[in-house]
Structure formats: structure tokens, C-alpha cells
């Protein structure tokens, strides 16, 4: 596997990419915890295999604001021949192309990506993103993690890692700085409310459960999906089957940055009896994603969404909304509806480049616009969802 352990083979080799499209549909970096990004996994079932069949073998027309993968590969080869950084050369080509979602990983960073898809990683337990001004901002801190014990909070700005300034860096580069062996220390310089802070934390092997389930006293089952990492779809299906007969379900997709597309389709299948989940194009060539048959189509359902609902999570919410299967409650979603495909470069690094967009069953492109909820709610969102379920004939 060319030094990239545990990465699904279909996500890795150029010859595989020519035989079958690899779909990436998320963009949120989990700094110190891997990068949440979604791709097809060969082991995820027949639906994915059918969707991947017949992918184009030529480059084909490119979307506006996307990088030419051949140009990226040439730049890397030339840089390596001159003794320069292939990754930096690739990043320059991607940046000039205007591909806002395009990114370049070295081998270690892509190995971290693979760990994230399995739901475990070595890090400090903070999720972060890059603000428009180039600052790295902490979006979330995992409870019980080294970062949480050190007092890090959402909203903190990360200034440096082990003395390396991170402002202006790509988030993947910040991930690389935060990575390391379990038990090793890392020094974080942060800014909070105008004051500078320095914390030394030790990296740990961390894990998160992608799906948690709880039953409210009123009988409503709340299924929270943190991300669509491996196994999340089956856990959603199991939770739906275990819910009390006739009672409603709240599918909480708030703050979900996406993940494996096949897991998202499996999750949507829990509430559908076959039919369309989404369409997507790869360099102008249309593809279709179908739900499996046999899902629960009668149980009242509300999907909770917000500005942190992204990509594969938006795919699920959009499918359930368009199919009339769920009422969406909350606030407008992020609006990340473009499709990325990874290409291995001559130096072993990997470039994920935008190749197209996906659409909901009703033909809506969510890229830039997101999903508008049927019932807007800014506060007490879960309570609002239960009220909506009451109007659907269940709950209090």
C-alpha cells in the first residue's frame, strides 16, 4: 500500500481511480484527530460497487474552479526532479486553479485520513477549521481528551504547534504538526479573548462513537450521528429497528461533517424502501445512488440540521426531505455539495480535486446554498422536533 496503511485500496492507486470513481464528499478537518473526508470503500457493499461501475477512463471536461490532475502530477514530477517539495508544487497548482475544496496530503496525512474513517486516531482531541483570515480556530473539543483536560475550548485560536506558526497554513498541514506517537508531548500556543495561552498536552489514542442512541421519557428515540465513519450506517439501521413500535425518531445530523458516502446511503436506507438517494457527476458523467429496500417508511421522522451539517450528512438530509420521508428542523446547512476524487501523485502524495457536484432526488444542488429546513429553529431545537413529531401523530 505504498506506505499508507489501512487506506481503502480503491482510494489509493491511479489504476484503481481509472477503473472506478472514488467519491469524496466532505470537508472538515479534525485537527489532531484526523481529517473527516468521505470516499468509497470497496467493502461497503453492492450499492457502492454498482455506482462505481463504468467510470470514465479519460480526464474529460473539468468543472469551473477545479484543478487539472495531469497538470498537478506534472508539477510534482518536475519539482521532485529539481529536488524541491512535490507537495508544495501540487498545492500551488491547486491554489491557482480556484478549487476551493482541493487539497494535497502527504503520505502521513493520508494515513491519518484512513484512521479517521475508522473512527480512531492518535491526537489531542480538537476539531478545527481555517477562518477566512487564515487563523486556525478550534471548533470542538472531544470530551475527556488531552485537549479537554488542558482546558481548551471551542472558539480558541491556535497560533502555533511546537513553535511552528500555523496561521495561514492549510488545515492538513496543521494536522501533520499535531500528529505523532501516543504519549509524546506537543506544545500549543493559543489565543482566547485577546490573551495568549500556552498548553503542553500529550497525544493519546482516541476514539469516538459515530452513532449514539437515547430514548426520551416521551418515547421518542434520538439518534445522533456524529460522522459517517465506517459502521455508522448499520448502527443507524439497528437503532431504528430497536425503537419502540409506532414511536417517532429524531435523526440528529447537527455538526456532522460527513464521511463515507456508502455509510450515508446505508443510513438513508434505514428510512426508505429503495429509490433514489442522490445523483452526482464525475467530469460531466452522471452517476446514481440508490437506497436499499426494506427500510422503515412509516415511522414519523424529524431530521435535525444546522450550519455544521455538511456534505454526506447533507446528502442524507436532502434525500429524506425530498422524498417526503422527514421534516427537517433547525437552521440552514453548510452547503458543501461538490465531489472530490483522490489521485496519487508521483512522489506518493495524494491530491483530492473537485470533479463535479451532487444533487438531491428533486434535482437540487446544495453546493453553496445548503438545505433550508422545513421548520426553522435556533434554540430548543430538539423540543421543537418533538413538537413536530406530535403534529405527525406521535409524542406528547
**Residues tagged active-site:** 311, 322, 336
Neighbours of 232 (CB within 10 A): 24
**What CA–CA distance (Å, rounded) separates 191 from 347?**
36
Q: What is the DSSP letter of 23?
A: -
Q: Which of 53, 54, 37 is nearest to 338 (CA)?
A: 37
Three-class SS state of 392: coil
Report residue 374: phi and psi, to 5°: -70, -35
Residue pair 259/27 in contact (Cβ under 8 Å)? The answer is no
Going through 142-284 in order, the beta strands assigned E by DSSP cover: 157-161, 164-165, 185-192, 195-202, 204-207, 211-215, 221-225, 249-252, 276-282
Q: Which of 327, 322, 263, 319 is nearest to 299 (CA)?
A: 327
**What CA–CA distance (Å, rounded) separates 6 from 34?**
14
Helices (H), the chain: 14-19, 46-52, 69-81, 86-97, 107-117, 146-149, 171-178, 232-242, 261-269, 312-322, 381-391
**What CA–CA distance (Å, rounded) separates 202 from 150?**
10
Neighbours of 200 (CB within 10 A): 11
Report residue 391: phi and psi, to 5°: -70, -20
CA 359 to chain centre: 17
Neighbours of 241 (CB within 10 A): 10
**What CA–CA distance (Å, rounded) separates 236 from 225?**
8
Grid coordinates representing 53 are: 461501475
Residues 6 or more apart in contact with residue 195 via CB below 8 angstroms: none
Amino acid at each position: 500500500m505504498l506506505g499508507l496503511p489501512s487506506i481503502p485500496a480503491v482510494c489509493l492507486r491511479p489504476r484503481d481511480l481509472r477503473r472506478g470513481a472514488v467519491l469524496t464528499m466532505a470537508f472538515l478537518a479534525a485537527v489532531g484527530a484526523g481529517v473527516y473526508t468521505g470516499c468509497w470503500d470497496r467493502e461497503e457493499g453492492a450499492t457502492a460497487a454498482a455506482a462505481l461501475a463504468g467510470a470514465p477512463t479519460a480526464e474529460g471536461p473539468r468543472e469551473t474552479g477545479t484543478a487539472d490532475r495531469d497538470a498537478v502530477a506534472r508539477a510534482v514530477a518536475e519539482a521532485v526532479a529539481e529536488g524541491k517539495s512535490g507537495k508544495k508544487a501540487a498545492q500551488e497548482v491547486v491554489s491557482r486553479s480556484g478549487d476551493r475544496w482541493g487539497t494535497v496530503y502527504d503520505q502521513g496525512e493520508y494515513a491519518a485520513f484512513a484512521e479517521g474513517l475508522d473512527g480512531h486516531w492518535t491526537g489531542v482531541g480538537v476539531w478545527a477549521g481555517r477562518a477566512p483570515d487564515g487563523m486556525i480556530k478550534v471548533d470542538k473539543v472531544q470530551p475527556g481528551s488531552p485537549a479537554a483536560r488542558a482546558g481548551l475550548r471551542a472558539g480558541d485560536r491556535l497560533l502555533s504547534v511546537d513553535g511552528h506558526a500555523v496561521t495561514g497554513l492549510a488545515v492538513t498541514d496543521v494536522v501533520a504538526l499535531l500528529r505523532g506517537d501516543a504519549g509524546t508531548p506537543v506544545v500549543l500556543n493559543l489565543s482566547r479573548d485577546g490573551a495568549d495561552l500556552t498548553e503542553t498536552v500529550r497525544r493519546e489514542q482516541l476514539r469516538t462513537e459515530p452513532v449514539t442512541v437515547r430514548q426520551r421519557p416521551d418515547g421518542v428515540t434520538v439518534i445522533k450521528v456524529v460522522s459517517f465513519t465506517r459502521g455508522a450506517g448499520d448502527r443507524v439501521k439497528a437503532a431504528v429497528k430497536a425503537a419502540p413500535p409506532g414511536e417517532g425518531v429524531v435523526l440528529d445530523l447537527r455538526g456532522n461533517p460527513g464521511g463515507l458516502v456508502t455509510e450515508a446511503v446505508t443510513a438513508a436506507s434505514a428510512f426508505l424502501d429503495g429509490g433514489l438517494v442522490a445523483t452526482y457527476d464525475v467530469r460531466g458523467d452522471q452517476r446514481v445512488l440508490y437506497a436499499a429496500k426494506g427500510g422503515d417508511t412509516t415511522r414519523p421522522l424529524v431530521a435535525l440540521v444546522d450550519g455544521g451539517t455538511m456534505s454526506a450528512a447533507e446528502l442524507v438530509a436532502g434525500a429524506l426531505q425530498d422524498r417526503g420521508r422527514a421534516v427537517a428542523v433547525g437552521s440552514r446547512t453548510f452547503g458543501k455539495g461538490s465531489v472530490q476524487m483522490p489521485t496519487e501523485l508521483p512522489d506518493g502524495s495524494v491530491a483530492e480535486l473537485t470533479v463535479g457536484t451532487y444533487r438531491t432526488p428533486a434535482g437540487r444542488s446544495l453546493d453553496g446554498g445548503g438545505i433550508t429546513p422545513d421548520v426553522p429553529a435556533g434554540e430548543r431545537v430538539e423540543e421543537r422536533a418533538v413538537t413536530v413529531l406530535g403534529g405527525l401523530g406521535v409524542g406528547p
